[in-house]
Structure 1
Amino acid sequence: MAPASLRGRSVENPTISIEQEIQRSYLEYSLSVIIGRAIPDVRDGLKPVHRRIMYAQHELGNTYNRAYKKSARVVGDVIGKYHPHGDSAVYDALVRMAQDFSMRDPLVDGQGNFGSIDGDSAAAMRYTEARMSRLAGEFLSDIEKNTVDFRPNYDNSLQEPEVLPTKVPNLLLNGSAGIAVGMATNIPPHNLGELIDALLYLLDHSSCSSRDLMQFIKGPDFPTGGVAYVGEGLTEAYTTGRGSVKMRGTLSVEDRGKGLESIVITEIPYAVNKSTLVEKIALLVHERRIEGISDLRDESDRRGIRIVIDLKRGTIPDIVINALYKYTALESSFGFNMMAVVDNRPQLLTLKDILAHFLEHRREVIIRRTRFDLKKAEARAHILEGLRIALDNIDAVVKTIRSSKTAQDAKQALMEQFELSDVQSQAILDMRLQRLTNMEHEKLLEEYRELLKKIEFFKSILENEDVLLGVIRDELDALKKTYATQRRTVIDDHDLSGIDIEDLIPDADVVITLSERGYIKRTAMENYSAQKRGGKGIFGVHTSDGDFILNFLVTTNHQYILLFTNRGKMHRLKVHQIPEGSRTAKGMHIANLLPLDKDEYVVASLTVRDFAADRSFLFVTRKGMVKRTHQEMYTNCRSTGIIAVNVRESDDLLQVVDVGREDEIVLVTQHGYAIRFSVADARAMGRGTAGVKGIALRSGDRVVAGVVVTPDEHKDILTVSEKGYGKRSSLDLYRLQTRGGKGIITMRTTPKTGSLIGAIMVEKDDDIIMLTSENKVIRIGAGEIRKVGRATQGVRLVSMADDGHVVGFDIVRDKQIDEARKNED
């Protein structure tokens, strides 16, 4: 407050409160920083400097299909015409718009050194060149059609747009980060295809919630890839505007041979400096906070990131990996703060709010563009109407013009004689003589008819809300088709609290079903109750038309399920990672769990608890080839899978079984033949080999099963046909042969029984679970199945409709019987 001696001054010298003046001035400064510098507009997702860079390039004609211009030229235009700030600030913004590791979809196409993910600075602006990216052109489309408001630039000498008429939901696509006075914004980038899917859904379901839109927008999609661990943090961010998700880099374990391994980092979290990350790892090794690392090197190049960490012999990779996540930026957090300017006021927005504001902006742009086009079309149609009248009365028009003394007299005479407007009369006077030809006359009439159609369409957009929404929908579809790319960041909803999820999951018996079209599910064994032989079964699994169950496994939650593809690759999951479903559920597509390539699909599966050094995997193909490889060679499975077997083009992988060197194998064919030979006959090979011949097939025959036999065990072979017939035969009836023979009869197949679909080893007290093409499951005791010789057709095990068939079966060991046996012993 002013001192007492200054109070009561006249109006010419009013007293001013210092406190109020500071408050007012600081508020104005704050708003200027918020709106004019740090916080993006919700409509185009741009801060003023980015908007001015794009508009200046547009005015320069510096588009994606023209030659590059020096960055200094662009920066000069920006600061000279629209942005009265330092050139380094403008150039830094332009550089970031060109960095593919900073922007999910860059808006500037840069040529030269524009910096690196290691934190290297860009070259000086006099050396680099730039132009707008193709996507950036969509930000300025139709700007000349009065689609947005313009305002004077800083010195009132030019006009600049208040917002760009963008077709791109840029606020979420490329995200934004900024610190203003008293507030900040931090929005991650997203995938364009997912954003457009959500916008299209919002167009049809305006009352939906942010949670509803999350079925399309799975989470952030960072340009550097990596893994985003989402959950309640993401839901909170999208529904309130604030939240947090964990980011992790992508790494794998590679075998260097001779028992040595390396951890290879190929993707790092968003906004992490790679050089700083490598230096941090080296420091941790030097301080012995991370043990077991023998060498660290950065092998990154223009093809991508590759940080190699060599491990000492005997080091467990998972321990080092967990330490990297704990002590370095390889695991980071991204805090959402979705603040944006709405109607010149900063607001915290939800996911739906941002998308709804963008759609409202597109609606306004299209309405203003349509009004502009309609006005222009009507003006042109008015002129064409006058030319049409002139051509229909050409002789009279020519006579009138020739009889006039001056052009003004001719115009006035035409207006009076043919009831034309001033514009129409002038157009007639300006018409060239060549327009009098019949061809030109037809062109004029065709143009007139097309204009009338356009006018009608423009009016329908302005008068009919459904037509307007249809235009928005068509533009979004076209944008997705042209610019959408595959997601780079993997979304994972696992909790990273450090608790081992297996500690919370009981190691219970479950059934895994995998259909031919790739749908997989896990079902508790207790859902399948025992029934009598010959029963019709209960509904087991729902599949769509043309689909059927490919693999049917009985296992436990803590085991590994190994999935082998037609390309000979192996992928590994824990059984409990497979989504649980009811008995009749369809399941989840395997592509949501595994990184399968195009045209790659699962053909065989196997469950194991660990990879024993004295055990092997035996691969069996449809054409009778077998290959044995030690299990320890499959211990380290990358997230993208590893090569398991080399499958020839004319063959298909059928089965993979767990064997010991002393075991034997019985190969069973579709036509009812079998061969028994020692596993040792197939020498151990490397992972990328094709194997040797196991059985010589007869014409038209193929292998349907590989049954592992333990020496000296007294079990039976159960064979099952496609029409529900089966039998038990003593293993002693199958003599041991040399690998590569034609085999002996194992079941007499007839049109009544149909072809064999498989075989397994059983004991009398085992339970058998079977699945039919009618999606029914039956569980029967093995003791109920008649034990007969090899060359018989067996008995009916399951009743089906005439066109039904058995598609899979497996053994269920009854734990209560095992426990009873132990008590008896």
Structure 2
Amino acid sequence: MGERFGRYSKYIIQERALPDIRDGLKPVQRRILYAMNQDGNTYDKAFRKSAKSVGNVMGNFHPHGDSSIYEAMVRLSQNWKVREPLVEMHGNNGSMDGDPPAAMRYTEARLSKISGEMLRDIQKKTVDFVPNFDDTEEEPTVLPARFPNLLINGATGISAGYATEIPPHNLHETIQAVIYLLNHPAAELAELMKFVKGPDFPTGGIVQGKDGILKAYQTGRGRVIVRAKTETEELKGGRSQILVKEIPYEVNKAVLVKRIDEIRLLKKVEGIAEVRDESDRQGLQIAIELKRNANAQGILNYLFKNTDLQISYHFNMVAINNMRPELVGLKTILEAYVKYQREVVTRRTQFDLEKAQERQHIVAGLIKALSILDQVIKTIRGSQNKQDAKKNLVAEYDFTEKQAEAIVSLQLYRLTNTDVTALQQEAAELATKIKQYKLILSDANELDRVIKSELTAIDHQYATPRKTKIEAEVQQLKIETEVMVAPEDVVVLVSQAGYLKRSSLRSFGASAETDNGLKPDDQIILQTTANTLDHLLIFTDQGNLIYRPVHEIPDIKWKDTGQHLSQTVGLAADEKILQAFVFKDLKQPGNFVLATSQGAIKQTALSALQPGRTYRTRAAVAIKLKNAADRLIKVAYIMPKAAEQLDVVACSWGGYGLRYQLADVPVSGPRAAGVKAMDLRDDHLTAVLLVKAENTIGLLTQRGAFKRMKVSEIPETSRARRGVKILRDLKRKPHRIVFAADLSQSENWQIMTTKQQKIVLQTADHPLADRYSNGSFVVDVETQGEIKQVRLIPLTADAADKD
């Protein structure tokens, strides 16, 4: 196993996740550029469907999934991820908001102009080629990379035991540093840093901490602070706004805006009136509008400290150098690039020299042949065939085999005086070129001069001004606002028996979800991820309301039971938790709908349930119950817009159903008992549902029968009526409703019986029935036990989306 893992590790280190120090590309990126180049999909031709390029790469060079190839291609085209995009893309290639790109069948791509410099001279044997995965083609082990791509576009990747984080740099600065190193091979790092001042992120921003940059360029590791570029603008009426023009590298803009807006909503800092994302085609802009006389600098400092307007960037410059992963500094990268470019230009020059010498040889033969043209023609005419003609030319006039081939292949129109002149001119040009090539190969200074001139040409053509500002010192942030509770995401649990706890995400993640410390007969009422600044409202079946700020809930390990509410508030012996809700703030416009078993219903605004001074030791009243036997059976939180579309369906034990609009239920205060939900007479309510008219509901009877019916089967009338029968009455053992639920919320139910049996009911498997039906039996109450409890199994995320 160790040997196999070692081989796998070696593969992903060398051939997947880390870039080569010479061309700065990972294998998938190299294969994409090479395949697109082979296919003629270059900047000077029309765009082609991305799927075609991905298919070529996958079919010929990269035996991995199309999604990983397409993601790599998209990243090469994203001008907020790479400093000089190597791929141009038509269509949606993602965004700074973290939006995914369109599928490859919708987008078109081609190589950008600068990527032509990465591939220039590849056909001149400048790099080594190896067979592809099925030995049908050859692929390059590295690209010629006529500019230092590793530094210019940076790299990020994770492999086995190694990770890399190389920031993008400015093309002009990097090329100037390479030229300086060519002129001064013994240059110190400080001299190179006069050119490469620091990272140049495509998203701009401000980098603080020259010491961190220096350390990174010395050792390969270092830390700098990257912060957004901001300015404060004065508005009318003594107000102002902070404008964010550039954000740190690889920060998700939408998440950043949402985070700033959360700070405004939770009032973690006083003074923010509104947060807007005003980005458009002209560029990025986030407007943070402040209230009158707000401390703009203090708020900005708070946002720098508590949001991604300021981040730490950690250099970890690992690259493959001589087939090994190596932590490299700036000078090592530049030296490796210079060494590689000398090799590329040498190999190109050798290729050009061989081609020029071959052509010179042919031209010399043609000139000689034209000077004795009559004899040559006579000899060719006297020959039996082409092979014989070549043989005779070699024998009689001392031509070589290649010259003789060129002579016999010559077309008649070329036997003119002008062609002789052209050949003599070509011979002179070839002689000059050969002399130049030999000089480059024999003189290291001449070789370096060629590299410098070519780099300078690229610099002139592609250089762009620096985007990121470098500041020497890291500014210390002083938060003038009041120190608040540290915002932290936690997992909150409330159980039916009254146990309450919060656990860190780390504790929750380290434990099995089922290992929650609850007793076997207890049931989870609420389990959710919440922030320590959120608010928790707990409703009991005796109409009480308990409030807790999340940060005040005891912070204990996930596998421990938690604190019982009776330790602080006090619960009656038979009191159970019915429902619990987490809110970001308690000033939302929604209402709670509350209904009791003895037929009372009301709406109460969330704003009317604000906690009092004694919330820690006393429960508040959510609804006034009629008597000791009455119980709260339904609590739901509904936003005003949603309420307009909802109906109330009240189901009684005796099998009656009544439907009316939720708007018929008046809004009243927390101490009110509510109004009549249904004319019960000697009956009681077992379920009150809030549904849309087109929904489907499920009913479960005490005899173990389940029935699925449309809400529309129950005619819509008005509140406080008797309703209609929704079960068929039997003279012997009539069915009674013990449970009902909206099937759009949960299609699967878990039924617990008195004999400790658990039955999973898949409601979708049952046909729709009319209101006169009693459904079909799903529980054998005699053998499996009577129905004790029903738990709804939540819909999966996919199903919920469809709903």
Give the match for residue 377 of structure 1.
356
2:391 and 2:273 map into 1 onto residues whose CA distance is: 97
Give the match for residue 232 of structure 2.
253
1:314 and 1:499 map into 2 onto residues whose CA distance is: 19
Give the match for residue 268 of structure 1.
247
Show CA shifts across 1:753-789 (max 9, x none).
Answer: xxxxxxxxxxxxxxxxxxxxxxxxxxxxxxxxxxxxx
Letter in 2 for 1:495: V
2:7 and 2:416 map into 1 onto residues whose CA distance is: 67
Show CA shifts across 1:233-263 (max 9, x none).
Answer: 1110001110011101011111112321111
Letter in 2 for 1:228: V
Gaps of 5+ in 2: 480-803
SS in 1 for 2:198: coil
Superposition pairs of residues 92-131 of structure 1, within 5 angstroms: 92-131=71-110
Give the match for residue 16 of structure 1.
none
1:282 and 1:415 map into 2 onto residues whose CA distance is: 88
- 2:123 pairs, out of 134, 144, 157, with 144
Superposition pairs of residues 669-748 of structure 1, within 5 angstroms: none
Letter in 1 for 2:46: A
Superposition pairs of residues 175-214 of structure 1, within 5 angstroms: 175-214=154-193
Give the match for residue 390 of structure 2.
411
Q: Does 1:135 align with 2:141?
A: no
SS in 2 for 1:89: helix
1:150 and 1:436 map into 2 onto residues whose CA distance is: 42
Shift of 1:401: 2.2
Show CA shifts across 1:342-397 (max 9, x none).
Answer: 11110111100001111111111111111111111111111111101111111222
Shift of 1:301: 0.8
Check whether the contact 2:301–2:477 (CA below 8 A) recurs between aligned residues. no
Letter in 1 for 2:147: V
Q: Does 1:453 align with 2:432?
A: yes
- 1:486 pairs, out of 450, 453, 465, with 465
Q: Does 1:294 align with 2:276?
A: no
Q: Does 1:312 align with 2:291?
A: yes
Letter in 2 for 1:259: G
Check whether the contact 1:150–1:162 (CA below 8 A) recurs between aligned residues. yes
Superposition pairs of residues 546-565 of structure 1, within 5 angstroms: none
Letter in 2 for 1:88: S
Check whether the contact 1:219–1:230 (CA below 8 A) recurs between aligned residues. no
Check whether the contact 1:39–1:180 (CA below 8 A) recurs between aligned residues. yes
Letter in 2 for 1:418: Y
Give the match for residue 356 of structure 1.
335
Show CA shifts across 1:59-92 (max 9, x none).
Answer: 1100001011111101111111111111111111
Give the match for residue 31 of structure 1.
10
Q: Does 1:226 align with 2:171?
A: no
Show CA shifts across 1:590-635 (max 9, x none).
Answer: xxxxxxxxxxxxxxxxxxxxxxxxxxxxxxxxxxxxxxxxxxxxxx
Superposition pairs of residues 443-592 of structure 1, within 5 angstroms: 443-498=422-477
1:179 and 1:425 map into 2 onto residues whose CA distance is: 59
SS in 2 for 1:265: strand
Check whether the contact 1:210–1:350 (CA below 8 A) recurs between aligned residues. no
2:377 and 2:68 map into 1 onto residues whose CA distance is: 65
Give the match for residue 317 of structure 2.
338
Q: Does 1:422 align with 2:401?
A: yes
Give the match for residue 306 of structure 2.
327
**What percent identity do the matched residue pairs reach?**
48
Letter in 1 for 2:148: P
Shift of 1:404: 2.8
- 2:152 pairs, out of 149, 163, 173, with 173
Superposition pairs of residues 663-674 of structure 1, within 5 angstroms: none
2:238 and 2:30 map into 1 onto residues whose CA distance is: 56
Shift of 1:283: 1.1
SS in 2 for 1:228: strand
Letter in 1 for 2:409: D
Letter in 2 for 1:96: R
Shift of 1:408: 2.9
1:201 and 1:65 map into 2 onto residues whose CA distance is: 33
Letter in 1 for 2:351: F
1:381 and 1:153 map into 2 onto residues whose CA distance is: 36
Show CA shifts across 1:287-338 (max 9, x none).
Answer: 2222111111111111111111111111121111111111111000110011
2:433 and 2:386 map into 1 onto residues whose CA distance is: 34
2:258 and 2:177 map into 1 onto residues whose CA distance is: 41
Check whether the contact 1:97–1:108 (CA below 8 A) recurs between aligned residues. yes
Letter in 2 for 1:134: K
1:279 and 1:332 map into 2 onto residues whose CA distance is: 17
Check whether the contact 2:225–2:474 (CA below 8 A) recurs between aligned residues. no
1:425 and 1:33 map into 2 onto residues whose CA distance is: 53
2:403 and 2:227 map into 1 onto residues whose CA distance is: 69
1:131 and 1:407 map into 2 onto residues whose CA distance is: 46
Show CA shifts across 1:171-228 (max 9, x none).
Answer: 1101001111111100000000000110011001111122221110110000001111
Q: Does 1:156 align with 2:135?
A: yes
SS in 1 for 2:99: coil
Gaps of 5+ in 1: 1-21, 501-825
1:50 and 1:251 map into 2 onto residues whose CA distance is: 35
- 2:40 pairs, out of 48, 61, 82, with 61
1:89 and 1:292 map into 2 onto residues whose CA distance is: 45
SS in 1 for 2:235: strand
SS in 2 for 1:258: helix
Check whether the contact 1:293–1:310 (CA below 8 A) recurs between aligned residues. yes
1:68 and 1:254 map into 2 onto residues whose CA distance is: 43
2:181 and 2:28 map into 1 onto residues whose CA distance is: 30
Letter in 1 for 2:18: I
SS in 1 for 2:289: strand
2:71 and 2:384 map into 1 onto residues whose CA distance is: 66
Letter in 2 for 1:219: G
Shift of 1:498: 4.0
Show CA shifts across 1:523-545 (max 9, x none).
Answer: xxxxxxxxxxxxxxxxxxxxxxx
| Pair 1:406–1:60, CA change in 2 (3 A) | closer
SS in 1 for 2:10: helix
1:452 and 1:79 map into 2 onto residues whose CA distance is: 45
| Pair 1:124–1:159, CA change in 2 (3 A) | same
Check whether the contact 1:227–1:489 (CA below 8 A) recurs between aligned residues. yes
1:133 and 1:403 map into 2 onto residues whose CA distance is: 57
Q: TM-score, normalised by structure 2?
A: 0.59
Give the match for residue 241 of structure 1.
220
Show CA shifts across 1:111-142 (max 9, x none).
Answer: 00001000001011100000000011111111
Shift of 1:41: 0.4
Letter in 2 for 1:303: Q
For this pair of structures, how many residues does the alignment match? Answer: 479
Superposition pairs of residues 591-606 of structure 1, within 5 angstroms: none
Shift of 1:499: 7.8
CA RMSD of aligned residues (A): 1.2
